[in-house]
Structure 1
Amino acid sequence: MQLTLRACALAVALTLGAPLANALDDQKIGASVESLLEFARERNPEYASMRYEAEAAGERSASAGALPDPKLRVELEDITKMGEQNPTLSPSRVGQAKYQIMQELPWFGKRDLQREVATLEAEGAKGKAYAMWADLASRIKAGYAQLYYIHENERLTKEILDLMSRLERVSQVRYAGGLAAQSDAIRAQVELTNMKNELVMLDNEKRMLHARLNMLIARPPNAPLADPERLRQLPPPAHLEYAALADRVRGRNPRLSSDDARVRAAEKSRDLTYKNRYPDFAVGFAPMQSGKSVKEWEVMFEMNIPIQQSSRRAMERESEAMLSAARARKDATANEVLSELAESLSALEAARRTESIITNSLLPQAELTYKSALASYENGKVDFATLLDAQRQIRQARQGQIKAQADAQTRLAEIERLLGEEL
């Protein structure tokens, strides 16, 4: 009895614990870009539909090139036996029953070409699915980088807001002591109001990004997301050389892979079209029943006569044009992706250099300027406008630093989309 109760208690605990575990997992979604990508890979319906289509194309290639089903024809001759009996459908009572079995046979090599065309089309469908995922992953990565920027900007604004509150109190004390004008306190209050208004705008942008990311990972728009904790580490500059990445793009870009499969499928389709110059066959045999026994056999051979040469030449020209179009499409895609690669690499390098300049030069200079202005203001050597300007310089430098980091992540996502894999 005790074992039974323990088993029941364990089952209840597992049943109640599963939703709790899922809830805990949901709370972690958004903390890192990897959590968003993992969730989207499992749940995004558009990506799932592309994968199913690719799977269906793969199954279609297995049946391509198979022989058509044989045909059976039953002929009952002289069902009244020259008027000696009533009409009947019994094979043993008619004048003669013929059972004809026919099998169509395409010209040599046609079945192999049909199978190869279907296989290459399946590869093209897989390439489209990979391209769709690469695009979806890039949008998620870019959205996460933007969300990180908004989150850090919001945190920075709150820090500056706290700093401005202290400066406002300093200006109030100096005004009360007759050491500063009333306008200093008013300016501080105006600055505080502007920052509060900016926090409202940042909160709205964050909500919009939450809805966009939830859409991409197939969650309700108002589903909560964890605050972003970190950005991915950028690859070293040695791994971002254009020549090496261009070679990888040519070999691994999903769109180029799909276009290459289309080119090869068009080549096989052209070869198949030229095969239509030759006839297809049909062979068969027919046992003939007289009474209750089979005493005669027939063997048959059939072939079509390809005499409609004008229509065949038109189909051949069509297949050649389709092949040329597929090759041109692949060349256009290659030019496009290589151009995008060069642009993204240049923008990534610019963002990296911008962050380095801000971190190593501009931000320390702005902090020193602010400290000097604050000390001078407290001693009455500079006015409050100079202090506010120094504070804005620090804020702008920090915002520029965060924006450069987010821009670099967005460009990295674009490069990975072109590569079809992560760096």
Structure 2
Amino acid sequence: MKTLKLHTYLFFVTSFLSLSINAQQLQSYIQEAELNNPQIQAYELRYNIAQEKVREANSLPNTTVSAGYFVSEPETRTGAQRARFSVSQMLPWFGTITARENYASSMAETDFVEIAIAKRKLALSIAQSYYELYAINAKQSVLDENTQLLKTYERLALTSVEVGKASAVDVLRLQIRQNELHQLKAVLGQEFLAEQSNFNNLLNRKQSIAVKVVSDLLLPLEEPVYLQDSLELNPELIKYDRLYESITQSELINQKQSAPDIGFGLDYVPVSERTDMDFSDNGKDIVMPMVSLSIPIFNNRFKSITKQNELRQKEIELQKMERLNVLKTTFAKAIAMQNQARININTQEKNLKQARDAEEILTKNYETGTIDFNEVLDIQELQLRFQLNGVEAVKSYYVQSAVINYLTNQ
């Protein structure tokens, strides 16, 4: 009983350490990618531009300055007017600038959410590539293990040939099978280089840099609890909330723009003195303050924009609902595939144990001189298939975990 408890404890510790090392290593790659990935950098620049637009919104229309010279000077009672100088400034309706700033801020928030989405997608791509590299490495290790097993059987076959209990054909079959495993390993080596190049491209670094992956991945003893409600916090859905808010702010601007604009100005006209008479206001310059209103009498345009904004908000609500349904479907499939992977792993472990029991029986039969090398090859092929299937199942389990993390951020 103590031995069983110790074995269980060691398995738990090993499993925990494996998961911890895997998480730390993968997280370090993701952090490096977020710093170096050009797509993320482009999204961040877009966000910086959006923030600048907030400052741009806090501005007034251009000040109008004009000057004119009278070629033919008009005569007035106080003298001839020589020129005219004007300056005017239009001001938007009260609260318009604040509304513009709020709209620009809401658009900046939308761009910020795009950064979060891009980072999640990048993390998912890196995790998928990482687990693909793990699977290739694990398969190569399995092939090495089976190659060593076949070499052991080859030595047994050679000994049997010497004593006349086996045919040279058996030795050749074992050697052919080893050649096939060498071929499979070489093919996997090329797949690893291609996937390593893809992984390094995601991190925006040289393709030839070696990628370190864990040598073994163990499943957690218990499945973590995933809450479907957390899908509501996915940035893909939050983006629609930000877009909805931006249209609300856009409508506020529309309402402000449908109000009059106020203008203030000043005209200055220099006047020449009259020489034919003398009086108190002779040659007095003209200074004329002005106030103007720009009234949108024909406001069908603003009514149309209001209607468009209402339709856009309804469209966004429907788009969010549709996207939520897609995320729910993806979430359900990922959970199901993760459960299938665990079932597959357990099945492959049972099959592998039974195949190794059969191998042990065949090895014991060798002592009596009744070993059948055709059966040896069959058992070895079964072991290889079970092991490779197990590696694929482990990869599938963790890839689906990465998908669930993307959806729920757990």
TM range (shorter): 0.7 to 0.9
Give the distance between the partners of 2:363 and 2:221, measured in 1 at CA: 40
Q: Are residues 232 and 299 of structure 1, via their aligned partners in 2, closer, same or farther at CA, if it must alter by over 3 Å?
A: farther
**Cα distance between partner residues in 2 of 1:381 and 1:170:** 12
- Residue equivalent to 1:259: 240
Q: Is the 8 A contact 1:32 1:231 kept in 2?
A: no
Q: CA deviation at 1:134?
A: 0.7
Specify the alignment match of 2:212 in structure 1. Answer: 226
For 1:212-361, what aligned pairs fall within 5 Å after superposition? 212-229=198-215, 231=217, 236-240=222-226, 244=227, 246-251=228-233, 253-290=234-271, 295-359=285-349, 361=350
5 Å matches for 1:50-89? 50-64=43-57, 66-78=58-70, 81=73
Q: Does the residue aligned with 2:225 lie in a helix, a strand or coil?
A: helix
CA RMSD of aligned residues (A): 2.8
What TM-score, normalized to structure 2? 0.83
Q: Which of 145, 152, 177 is 2:163 aligned to?
A: 177
Relative to structure 1, the CA distance from residue 291 to residue 166 in structure 2 (aligned partners, 3 Å threshold; closer, same or farther) is: farther
Deviations 1:18-45, CA, capped at 9 Å, x for gaps: xxxxxxxxxxxx9932332132122111
Tell me, yes or no, if structure 1 residue 156 matches structure 2 residue 142: yes
Distance 1:106 1:82 in 2: 36
Q: Which amino acid aligns with 1:190?
A: I
| 1:31–1:237 CA distance, 2 compared to 1 (3 A) | closer
State the alpha-carbon separation in 2 of the partners of residues 375 and 232 from structure 1: 32
**Aligned partners of 2:266 and 2:290 also within 8 Å:** yes
| TM-score, with length taken from structure 1 | 0.80
How far apart, CA to CA, are the structure 2 residues paired with 1:324 and 1:211? 44
1:109 to 81, 86, 95: 95
Shift of 1:288: 4.4
Instruction: After superposition, give the CA deviation of every residue in 1:272-316 in whole Å (9 maximum; x if it has no partner).
Output: 334443222222334544479985432222222323344333333
**Which amino acid counterpart does residue 154 of structure 1 have in structure 2?**
Q
2:399 to 380, 400, 410: 410
Report if the CA contact (8 A) 1:32-1:230 is conserved.
no
The answer for the alignment partner of 2:16 in structure 1 is: none
- C-alpha separation between the residues in 2 aligned to 1:38 and 1:315? 43
Question: Secondary structure of the residue that 1:101 maps to in structure 2?
Answer: strand
What is the alpha-carbon distance in structure 1 between the residues aligned to residue 262 and residue 369 of structure 2? 105
The one-letter code matched in structure 1 to 2:110 is G
Query: Does structure 1 retain, via aligned residues, the 8 Å contact 2:126–2:199?
Result: yes
Task: Report if aligned partners of 1:70, 1:103 keep a CA contact under 8 Å in 2.
Answer: yes
**What is the identity, as a one-letter code, of the residue corresponding to 1:67?**
S
| 1:189 maps to 2:167 | no
Shift of 1:226: 3.3
Aligned residue for 1:10?
none
d(CA) in 1 for partners of 2:308, 2:85: 42
1:391-410 aligned at under 5 Å gives the runs 391-410=380-399
Contact 2:81 2:269 in 1 (8 A): no
**Is the contact between residue 355 and residue 401 of structure 1 (CA under 8 Å) also seen in structure 2?**
yes
**Matching residue's letter, 1:397:** F
Contact conserved, 2:63 with 2:88, CA < 8 A, in 1?
A: yes
Find the residue that maps to 1:218 and give its secondary structure.
Answer: coil
What amino acid does structure 2 have at the position aligned with 1:371? E
CA distance in 1 between partners of 2:249 and 2:374 (Å): 75
Cα separation, 1, equivalents of 2:272 and 2:333: 85
Partners in 1 of 2:327 and 2:54 — Cα distance?
A: 29
Shift of 1:329: 1.8
Letter in 2 for 1:255: E
Residues 74 and 97 in structure 1, CA contact (< 8 A), matched pair in contact too = no
Deviates more, 1:159-168 or 1:309-318: 309-318
C-alpha distance 413-291 of structure 1, shift in aligned 2 (>3 A): farther
CA distance in 1, matches of 2:302, 2:218: 58
* CA 178–229 in structure 1, closer or farther in 2 if over 3 Å, else same: closer
Q: Contact 1:147/1:228 (CA < 8 Å) preserved in 2?
A: no
> Using the alignment, how far apart are the partners of 2:370 and 2:216 within structure 1?
42
Distance of aligned partners of 1:96 and 1:183 in 2 relative to their CA distance in 1, 3 Å threshold: same
- The answer to whether the 8 Å contact 1:138/1:414 transfers is yes
Report which of the two structures shows the higher radius of gyration computed on alpha carbons.
2
Q: Mean Cα displacement is larger for which, 164-173 or 296-305? A: 296-305
Q: CA deviation at 1:229?
A: 4.2
| Counterpart-to-counterpart distance in 2, 1:385 and 1:294 | 122
Tell me the distance in 2 between the aligned counterparts of 1:347 and 1:96.
88
The range that moved more, 321-330 or 116-125, is: 321-330
Q: 2:85 & 2:204 partners in 1: Cα distance?
A: 59
- Cα distance per residue 1:47-70 (max 9 Å; x no partner): 111111112212212332x23144
> 2: CA distance between counterparts of 1:316 and 1:63?
24
Cα–Cα, structure 1 residues 42 and 230, in superposed 2: closer, same or farther, change >3 Å?
A: farther
Q: Kindly provide the amino acid, as one letter, of the partner of residue 410 in structure 1.
A: V
Task: Give the Cα–Cα distance (whole angstroms) in 1 for the partners of residues 83 and 62 of structure 2.
Answer: 19
Change (3 A) 1:236 1:49: farther
Whichever residue aligns with residue 355 of structure 1, its letter is I
CA–CA separation in structure 2 for the residues paired with 1:333 and 1:172 = 65
Change (3 A) 1:331 1:158: same
For residue 96 of structure 1, report the CA deviation from its aligned partner: 4.6
Equivalent residue number for residue 388 of structure 1: 377
